[in-house]
Structure formats: C-alpha cells, structure tokens
Amino acid sequence: MLIRIARASLWNRRFAAALTIATIAISVALLLAVERIRTETRASFASTISGTDLIVGARTGPVQLLLYSVFRIGDATNNIRWDSYQQIAAHPQVAWTIPLSLGDSHRGHRVVGTTTAYFEHYRYGGGRPLAFREGRAFAAPLEAVIGAEVARKLGYRIDQEIVIAHGTGRADITTHDDHPFRIVGILAPTGTPVDRSVHVSLEGIELIHAGWQSGSRRPGSTAAAATDLTPKTVTAVLVGLKSRMAAFSMQRQINQYEGEALLAIMPGITLAQLWSLVGVAEGALLLVAACVVVAGLLGMLTALLTTLNERRREMAILRSVGARPWQIGALLVIESTLLTLLGAIAGLAVVVLGMLLLSPWLAEQYGLYLRPLAFTLREAGLVALVLAGGIVAGIVPALLAYGRSLADGLTPRT
C-alpha cells in the first residue's frame, strides 16, 4: 500500500524526481566506471608478462629493470656481456631464455632485438602465446616483425621496408638507413607493450651497429664489412625455469654472480611493488567518484527536505484517512529508496552501454579490454552501499515528517 502511494507521489512530482534519478545515475555510473577501469587496468597491468620466472639485467633497481625490459619505459644503465648470458642459458635449471637488446627505435616505437625464442616462449594474459596476424617470424638479419599497434598507426604491410633509428627518442635523428629492414610478420593484438614494438634479430642489431661508436658511425667504416654477427652484449634476459621451486636459489646465484654485477627479479613480485607505487592514483580516483555519489545523495536529501513544507497538505490528507505518523515517515524512506534504486539501475545501464560502445576503442588505443557484463562482488557491494546511503538519506526527512505528523495529530481540530 505504502509503495503504491510512494509511486503515485513520485509520479506527481515526476520532473523533480527525474532530475534526482539522473543525478544519482550519473554518480553511480561514474563510481562503477572508475572501479571497472581500475580493476581491468590492474588486470591488464599484471598480465603484461606471464610464465617468465626471472628477468635478468645489469644491476639496477628492480622496478627500473622491469620497466625497460617489459614495459619498454626508460633505458638500461648497462648491458650484460654475451658470455654471461650464455652461462645463464646453460644452467641446468634453465628451460629457456629470451635475450633482449634494446636501445633503438622506429618513429617513436621501441625496437627489440631478440631471437625466435621470443615468439615461442613469451606469454601474456595468464599464459597466452603470441600469435601472428600476418606473415611469420624473422629468419634473416634484416627481417622484422612488428606489433599490431605499430602496423595500425603507421599503416605498415608485409614486405614493406623500414629504417631503424639509433636511440629511443621520438625523432629519428640518427638512422641506420644503410640497412633497412623488411617486414615479414605482424603480430596479433595483445594489449601489452608488444603491440607497440618492432622486433628484429640480434644479428640484425649487430649488423646495423657495425662500425658505430658512441652513437655515431666511425668515419670510413661500413656495416657491409661486418662478418661476425655474434652479439657482444644484451640488455636483459627473460628466463623460464624447469621448476619454479628453483626460482629463489637461481635468483640468489645470479645476484651473486662474480663475472659482473647482475640483478635477477621475479616479475610477479616486482609488478606488485610497481603497482603499489601507482596505487595512490587509483585510490584518489575512487575517492573522487565516492564524493560524487555522496553529492548525489545529498542532492536527493535536499530535494526531499525542500518539498516537506509543500507536502503538508498531502500528509494532512493521509492522516485524515487513517495513516499513522510512522507510516508517513516510512513513506518518505520508501520514496528515497525508490529514487536511489531507479538511479542505480539507470547508472548500471549507462555503464554497460558505455562499455559496449567504448570497449573496442579502448582495446585498440590502450590495450584495455573491458567486459561489459562481468560485474564483480566488489561492484555489487558498491551499489549496495549506494542503496544503503539512499535509505539513510531518507531517514532525515522521515523523522521530520514523523514529528510534524504527530504534532498535527495531537493538535485539536476546530
């Protein structure tokens, strides 16, 4: 009975009610959107590399090593000698290795020198292997495999030639134009830095740098004269072990290696450390969204309080037909609950529709894969908190209406 009366009352004030519902809907949509983007970004962040037990590089900070070897951010302070890499690869506990040589770029995209083991053993997103959208892996020194985003942004196709630049800046100032690379493969999208990378062989890296010193070619030197393309150094090494139980002992052995100063890190642990550094920003976004929700509920409370005086006649009529004071108060609580519920449902609809429309663009531009219909318990808990806040917001006008209704009931009628 009270629900039917509350619905009729809200319909009678449908314009003001619609504005209140819209305010709550926007607040809920913002809260859920921030939470969804936060969780999906974290999941995408954590799934950048999978199945790699150790990352080895020159001794530096663990986060810095992770950033330049996996996320292609920043530069290495030093390289690893080739003989040190060979000793690591030959260790009895090592199942596979992926050497990485960094330091060059192509039109703002990092160039990664590696071996075909990269395409065989690199995993992301919980163990998914790399796949080719077109073409194949490189098989000669001057062949290249590009990521999906490189192909999309620059409009590259198979058999097209590209020139690699020395250094990692966006401007290709010093180029290796004497040895262009031919694109032989385009990788399928992964949502990781792989999409933004150009992959070539270690031999190709050695070939284009033959005759170079301190970032420039020595006068009179030529790369064509290079015969020995065995790498002298690599920037980092991804290591897969035969048994993950050996990860700690292998890490300790590498960190204590006497040949040169090396550092071995476990990607999962270092990813958690890195996320803890950027976690302040996600907390701030969530706080802002929560404040917007509180503002929406306060707006609803203000609307209910403002209409109390205007509804004295309505409440007097209800009292005259037998409504008790607690029923008048309950009516306002039901109204606030209905407004919050409708606002939450509208907010959910906005989030689902928005993600359905934007998820292809976010996946293509930022590698962020959203699941529009996959709601989590945490998101359900946030919606429940909003509903609880709506009920609490309705208690204040309900108490005021209860007091007025009781006073009106005790006032002698003339």
CA distances from 357 to 234, 244, 363, 380 (A): 43, 41, 11, 22
The pLDDT assigned to 10 comes to: 67
151 has pLDDT over 90: yes
Q: What is the pLDDT of residues 20-48, one digit of tens each?
A: 888 888 888 888 888 888 777 777 777 78
60-69, 247-256, 328-337: lowest mean pLDDT where? 328-337
The pLDDT assigned to 136 comes to: 96
Say if residues 229 and 141 touch (Cβ distance below 8 Å). Answer: yes
The pLDDT assigned to 333 comes to: 80
CA neighbor of 153 nearest in space, from 366, 368, 370: 366
Residue 1 pLDDT grade (very low, low, confident, very high; cuts 50, 70, 90): low
Say if residues 388 and 63 touch (Cβ distance below 8 Å). Answer: no
The pLDDT assigned to 93 comes to: 95
- pTM for the model stands at 0.71
53 has pLDDT over 90: yes
Query: Which residues are registered as beta bridge partners of 182?
Result: 143, 161
Q: Kindly state the average pLDDT of the residues 155-184.
A: 84
Calculate what percentage of the chain has a pLDDT beyond 90. 37
Cα–Cα distance, 86 to 54 (Å, whole number): 15
166-175, 205-214, 239-248: lowest mean pLDDT where? 166-175
Of 250-254, 293-297, 385-389, which one has max mean pLDDT?
Answer: 250-254
Residue 365 pLDDT grade (very low, low, confident, very high; cuts 50, 70, 90): low
Number of helices (H), then strands (E), in the chain: 12, 17
The pLDDT assigned to 106 comes to: 93
Structural Rg of the chain based on CA atoms? 31
The pLDDT assigned to 410 comes to: 45
Q: Kindly state the average pLDDT of the residues 364-388.
A: 77
225 has pLDDT over 70: no
169 has pLDDT over 70: no
Cα–Cα distance, 152 to 146 (Å, whole number): 10
The pLDDT assigned to 211 comes to: 66
Q: What is the pLDDT of residues 272-328, one digit of tens each?
A: 888 777 667 777 777 887 888 888 888 877 777 776 666 666 666 666 666 666 666
Residue 137 pLDDT grade (very low, low, confident, very high; cuts 50, 70, 90): very high
Say if residues 409 and 319 touch (Cβ distance below 8 Å). Answer: yes
